Structures are given as C-alpha cells and as structure tokens.
Structure 1
Amino acid sequence: MLERERWTITVFVIVIIGAIAGQTRGALLPKFQESFGISDGLLGLVAPASSVGFVSTVLLIGFLTGHLSIKRYLLTGTIGVGIALLLMGIAPSYELFLSSLFLMGISNGVIRAFDRPILSHLYPERRGLIFNVYSAVWAIGAFSGPLLVNAAIEYGNWRFTYLLLGVAFLPLIILLMRFNPPSDFNNESTISLDAASQLIRRLPIAGMTAGMVLLGGIEGTLFFWLPYYASSYFQQDTANILLSTFLLAYFPGRMAYGILIDHLGELGLLFVGCICSLPLLYITFLRPQPAIMFASVFGLGILISGLYPTFSALGVEIAPEYSGPVNALSTAAMSIGIAIVPVIVGVITGLYSIQISMWLLPAQFLLLLIVLIVLLVARSHSATGIFSQ
C-alpha cells in the first residue's frame, strides 16, 4: 500500500472512532443526569469539559506542527484518548467523569492538530474535496454514536459505550507505532511569532475564525441538546435516533459540498447553505411539528454538514504553507463555540425551557450570515487581492 493511502486510511479510522465517541455524549445526557444526580445546568458542563483542554492543546500544537515529530505526537494523543475513554466508562462520580473528558480533550487536541494538515499536504491539489470527504467519514462515525448508545443501554449499561471505544483504540496504537511519518509533511513551514500575528490579522482568516465560533455554537447545540429537545415529543430511544438521522445527513451533505465547491467557491457555497437552513430551523425549533421533524432535521443536517469543512478549506487555501496553524485556529474556534453555547443552552433550559433555549440557533445563523456578507463585500471591493495577501 502506498504511503499516501496508508496515512489517509489511518487518519480516517481515527476520525471515525473519535466521532463515535463525540456523538455519544448528547445521546447520554439523560443517563448522566440519572447516574450522577445532577441538574440541567451542571449537565451543560459536559460540553466544555473536553473543549477547554482541546482548544488550548490544538492551538499550541497546531502552531508548532512544523517543529514537531508527527508520529510521536499522534501516537501520544491516540494513547491518551484510549485511556480517557476507559476512565469515562468506570468513573464513579461526575467530577471524575468530567476530569476524564478533560483528558480526552487534551489528547484529541493533539490528534486534531495533525490530521487535517496531513491530508492538506497529501492532497494539495484537491483540499476542498478531501476536507469534505474527511468530514463525510467523520459523519459515518458520528451517525453511529447514538445507535451505539441505544445498543449499550439495551444490552447492559451506558458505560459499556466508553469501555468498548477505549478498547477500539488499541489497534490504532499498534499501527501508528509501525508507520513512518508521511514524507509530504515536510512541506509544512515553521511559523514565527510575527508571521503568526500577521496571519491572524488577515481579514479572511479573522472572518473564518469568527464563522467557526458561530458554527461551533450551532453544531454543539444540536449535538448535545437535540435528543433532549426531541424527548419532549418522542420516547428517549426515538429522540436518540433523531440525532442519528441528523448525523446521517452529514455524509451525503458533505459529499455534495465537496462536489459543489468547485462550482460555487467556498464563500458562495457557505452563503447558500446558511440561507437555505433558515426555513428548516423555523419549522424544527420555532414552530415544531413532530410529524415532519425527522424530515426537517435530515434536511438541516445536509445543509449544516458542509459548512465547517468548507470554512476550513477557505482558510487553508489562503495560507497553504501554514496549514497547521490555520487548522489550529479553525478547530479551536469551532471548539470554543461548542464549549460555550451548550452551557448557555443548559442555563436557559434550567430557567425557562429547552424550547426557549433553541431560539439561539437562528440567532447564531443570522450572525454567521453577517460574517459571510462582510467577507463577500470585502472580496468584491478588494483591488489588491485581499484574500491572497
């Protein structure tokens, strides 16, 4: 097997298992509440527990990717995630469970600092497509997460979910120990403090970062609270399947984005996706109709699915020689949104109701549209090629 294919498959397998683990948390919120005896507000801490460590690690490692040993750090991150998952499966208290989530966030941050940059250098001619394929592969794992939760609860205990996933990391550890680093990764440039400062201040990079925070808030709200919201209208196992329906749409959605990106461009595709999402948000969360909720959530999943990889591809195309730092910025910004907004949703839910808190979704979409309009206007009025300077 060629080096490029070997590393691509390895990255994709890591992504799939990580996505399964990530998407079990929303489906398990009621079980966490039942097992640990916590309030709705404390339940919202599940999101930031992993995100805090993840954001700091992915930023630090991402800006140093040109200096670091890819094999050593990927291996360390993979071992760390496996250990964290096993600890989550046996944690006797909510405090220890959150601590295990924190460890998983740090370890996953190491992995995510390298996975997209690896693909960026392996496929420099088709970054938009490979990023959407990467994200479509993630969707396969994410779709499976809530279903794994249902199976674990049906046949034993919710803790089996994390014990099984922790064991699944063992073959990956063995593979990474045997692989040599991809030779194409030598194209990654080291970045100085001055260059990093200039990179962050560039308008398209700043716009991408702001957009990623909003996208993180949108996806985090849906990933963590959609089953809880749906349980107002369905039985819990059906509500978990609704989350899987949403995530199932990510695969065809991201493949479609990967095809359309060459025709509409990153900004055009992002704008169309946001505009088309608004009516589905309205009928799903503002005027909920349970009879058509599965269809509306599936459509929403298709439209939301490609926003993150398309934004990420936009950033890397701006500065391909700094794919590590750009990936760190986009991933960290996304995680900040995922960490903050679900907590706000938990607080509002505790004070009022989950139905009221879901109004945050269209509000975030409107802010995202403003960011995209600013970027579109700036590009159209730039006489000096602002998106490439």
Structure 2
Amino acid sequence: MVFLVNIARVVFAPLVEPLRAAFGFSGGTIGLVVTMAWVGSAVPRMPTGYLLTKVPRHTVVLGSGALLTVAAAVTAVADSFATLAAGALLMGLTSGAYFIAANPLVSELFPDRVGRAIGIHGMSSQLAAVSAPLVVGGVLLVTDWRAVFWLIGGVAAATTVVFFLIARRAEMPEAGRDDKDFVGALTRQWPIILTGVAIIGATGFVWNGVFNFYVTYLVEVKGLSEAVARNVLTGVFAAGVPAFVLTGRVAERVPYVPLMLTILGGFIASLLALTAVGSLWTVVAVSVILGYVVHSLFPALDIYLLDSLPDENRASAYALYSGTMMLVQATGSAVLGALTDAGFAFDALFRLFSVGLLAILVVLFGLYVTERLPRGASPV
C-alpha cells in the first residue's frame, strides 16, 4: 500500500515534460498541477488525525486504497487543466490520509523497534519514487501518459482487496485506543510539533520544487538529454532507499535533534554543490549524495516524533505536525515554476533557497545549544 500511495504523489515529476507537451502548459501551470498533488497530500492530514480518534487506523488505510483507485481513473481521463489538477489533488489526498494512519500504526506494531520499522516502511515508500521514472519511461515507450494512471488504478484496486483480507484476520495493537483528544494533543505537544515543522517545512518546500523540476533543470541548465535526466532523477530517488533504513538504525543510537540538524546541513551543502558542478559524472555524483541526504531527513523527523510522543497523543500530534509541514512544502513546485517563468535562473534560485535554509539552521542550532529546542515530547 505504501508503495502505491507514494507513487501517486511522485509520478507527476517524471511526467512534467510529457504533460507540458500534451497540454501545452507553461512551467508555472505544470508546476501548479504538481503542487495540487502535494496540496492534496497536505489537506486531509489534520482531518484524518481527528478521524483516527473515532475509527481504527487500518480502516483509514483501507479507505485510502479505495480512493486511490478512483483518483487514478479520474486523472487518466483528464482533458483539461481543471480535470488534471483535480485528479492530482485526489491522488494526493490518498497519500495524506494513508501516512497519517499508517505511520502511527507501524510504530505501535513495533514499539521496541520504532526506528527500524519506520525505516523499512519509508524504504518501501521510497521504492515507489525510484520506480516512478522507470515505470513512466517504460509506459511512454509503448503508449501515452494516460496508461500510467490506468496502471496505478488497476494495481491499487487489487492491493486494496488484499489488504482488506489480511487486516480482517490480523490482531491490531491497542496503543492508540486512548488517543481521543485531538485538541489536547495540540495544547500539550505544540513544542515538539513546532520543532518538527521548523526543521522539515522549509526544507520540504525547497525539495518539492527541486525534485519536481529536476528533469527540466538538468535538460535546460546542465545540457543533458531528457532520457539521461530522467535516469539521474531515478538515481536521486534510489539513493533514498538505503537512507531510510540506515537512518532508522542510526536514530536508535544517537540523539535525535543533533542528527536532524546535521542532515539539514548536509542538504544545504549538497544543493549548493549541484549548482557548481557541470560535467555528467559530477552531476550524477552530487545528485546521488543530495538524494541520500534529503531522504535521511524524513525518517529522522518521523522517528523523533513517533518514538517520543505518548500513546495518548501520538496520532493526533503527528497529524498536526504532518498537516502543517505539508501545507508549507506543497507550494514549492508552483513557486519555483512561477519564478522561472518570470525569468529567474534555476541556479540562482537554488542558491537563494540554500541561504534561506542556512539561516534557519543557524537559528535552530542556537536554540538547541541554549536548550530551548525540545529533545522529546511532553509527558501526559
């Protein structure tokens, strides 16, 4: 399930150029379509957190699979900007609802191995990002972009049925049954929620714009062919596969906050390095490092929150964090597309974004050394 719901978000990145050609979209317009998928992923997170105070987590996971089946079909038949954007929004909705229900469920299924469990779950999600450019490339060799979404819809329908049959027989954990106070989770856990948003919100905003326009950037700025650029994007996502697993293991051995701040510094350095290199192999090398570093940050944040939050607040507080940070990062593609349409160069924008992230890192480090940055959640 996690493979499918994540491919629903990331599949638009390798389809940016085919969709621009099919519909005649500008960079800003196609960036808005991509943004709709991420806005869709953000919108249901807080409502889903409240819903989880009423219904079991696995029920929401099942519903997200059913919705993905419908959303893929809507996108496949899109014939205008409005219908394509609506399909992207619906596909994003499935991932938002899924992750809010599934991540707490995974952490509660394996309470003694939260880091490893979240790492493996994240790795499975990242395999979708790795596969997306390959699936798109393979489908486009024999047919058009619509077949990509028909394929996703068909597999989603089959997987949802299988999940239903498995969940009906499985024994679910009871840890989340006391998580009934959504507002109370906010008032009690706002320091750790705000810390998570501060670290991942701006970083996710930058990364959302970067990876969705990665193929365009490599073609227009680095001079690569579209096929080679798509393969490089695959390498960026592939580097994230071991990042999830290794970060999960490391997070079980070192303090969470220094780990997250170190990873953020590595992302800034990698993004700056990308603007400085020019040859094919240096671009590939930096891209792989960039992909590994940024995909280490996501499990680090999830483990920090899910392992620190008490049972009574876990899903609710995680939904508040996740919904807020996704709303921040979802606009990254639209903003980057609009700025490049206005004449700003990719490299100049990437450097500007890096400086902004560096300023945030300095502030966070200052708060950490003065012990004003929470190292864990508030007890119930």
- Asked if these proteins are the same fold (TM beyond 0.5), I'd say yes
For residues 193 and 83 of structure 1, the distance between their equivalents in structure 2, rounded to whole angstroms, comes to: 29
1:10-46 deviation digits (Å, cap 9, x = unpaired): xxxx111223332221111111111111211111112
Q: Residue in 2 aligned with 1:277?
A: 267
1:366-386 deviation digits (Å, cap 9, x = unpaired): 14423541552353798xx87
The answer to whether residue 107 in structure 2 is matched with residue 91 in structure 1 is no
Q: Residue in 2 aligned with 1:379?
A: 371
Q: Residue in 1 aligned with 2:13?
A: 26
Number of paired residues?
373
The answer to whether residue 248 in structure 2 is matched with residue 258 in structure 1 is yes
What TM-score does the superposition give when structure 2 sets the normalisation length?
0.90
For residues 42 and 139 of structure 1, the distance between their equivalents in structure 2, rounded to whole angstroms, comes to: 27
1:309-320 to structure 2, matched below 5 A, reads 309-320=299-310
Shift of 1:290: 3.6
1:156-235 to structure 2, matched below 5 A, reads 156-178=143-165, 179-180=167-168, 182-192=171-181, 194-202=183-191, 204-232=192-220, 233-235=223-225
Match of 1:370 among 357, 362, 376: 362
1:1-389 to structure 2, matched below 5 A, reads 14-178=1-165, 179-180=167-168, 182-192=171-181, 194-202=183-191, 204-232=192-220, 233-321=223-311, 322-352=313-343, 353-370=345-362, 372-379=364-371, 387-389=377-379
Secondary structure in 1 matching 2:371: helix
Shift of 1:274: 2.2
What TM-score does the superposition give when structure 1 sets the normalisation length?
0.88
For residues 376 and 147 of structure 2, the distance between their equivalents in structure 1, rounded to whole angstroms, comes to: 51
For residues 211 and 386 of structure 1, the distance between their equivalents in structure 2, rounded to whole angstroms, comes to: 14
Gaps of 5+ in 1: 1-13
In structure 2, the CA distance between the partners of 1:52 and 1:200, relative to structure 1 (3 Å rule), is: farther
In structure 2, the CA distance between the partners of 1:339 and 1:279, relative to structure 1 (3 Å rule), is: closer
For residues 375 and 36 of structure 1, the distance between their equivalents in structure 2, rounded to whole angstroms, comes to: 48
Q: Is the 8 A contact 2:267 2:293 kept in 1?
A: yes
Shift of 1:269: 1.4
For residues 245 and 216 of structure 1, the distance between their equivalents in structure 2, rounded to whole angstroms, comes to: 19
Q: Is the 8 A contact 1:316 1:326 kept in 2?
A: no
Q: Is the 8 A contact 2:273 2:286 kept in 1?
A: yes
Deviates more, 1:89-98 or 1:262-271: 262-271
Specify the code of the residue in structure 2 equivalent to 1:366: L
Shift of 1:73: 2.7
Q: Is the 8 A contact 2:39 2:331 kept in 1?
A: no
1:199-231 deviation digits (Å, cap 9, x = unpaired): 3532x2211122221232133123211111011
Secondary structure in 1 matching 2:43: helix
In structure 2, the CA distance between the partners of 1:33 and 1:128, relative to structure 1 (3 Å rule), is: same
Pairwise CA RMSD: 2.3
Shift of 1:83: 1.3
In structure 2, the CA distance between the partners of 1:371 and 1:25, relative to structure 1 (3 Å rule), is: farther
Specify the code of the residue in structure 2 equivalent to 1:283: A
Q: Is the 8 A contact 1:131 1:309 kept in 2?
A: yes
For residues 301 and 361 of structure 1, the distance between their equivalents in structure 2, rounded to whole angstroms, comes to: 17
Deviates more, 1:344-353 or 1:267-276: 267-276
1:140-190 deviation digits (Å, cap 9, x = unpaired): 111010111111111111221111111111222212332226420453423
Q: Is the 8 A contact 1:73 1:111 kept in 2?
A: yes
Secondary structure in 1 matching 2:44: helix
1:241-272 deviation digits (Å, cap 9, x = unpaired): 11111000001222221222233221121122
Q: Is the 8 A contact 1:132 1:306 kept in 2?
A: no
- The alignment-based identity, stated in percent, is 19
Specify the code of the residue in structure 1 equivalent to 2:340: T
1:317-349 deviation digits (Å, cap 9, x = unpaired): 332312212321333234223311211101111
In structure 2, the CA distance between the partners of 1:194 and 1:381, relative to structure 1 (3 Å rule), is: closer
Q: Is the 8 A contact 2:33 2:85 kept in 1?
A: yes
Specify the code of the residue in structure 2 equivalent to 1:175: V
Q: Is the 8 A contact 2:189 2:378 kept in 1?
A: no
Deviates more, 1:152-161 or 1:320-329: 320-329
Shift of 1:122: 0.3
Shift of 1:129: 2.2
Which of the two has greater helix per residue? 1
| Moved segments of 4+, more than 6 Å | none
Specify the code of the residue in structure 1 equivalent to 2:307: E
Gaps of 5+ in 2: none
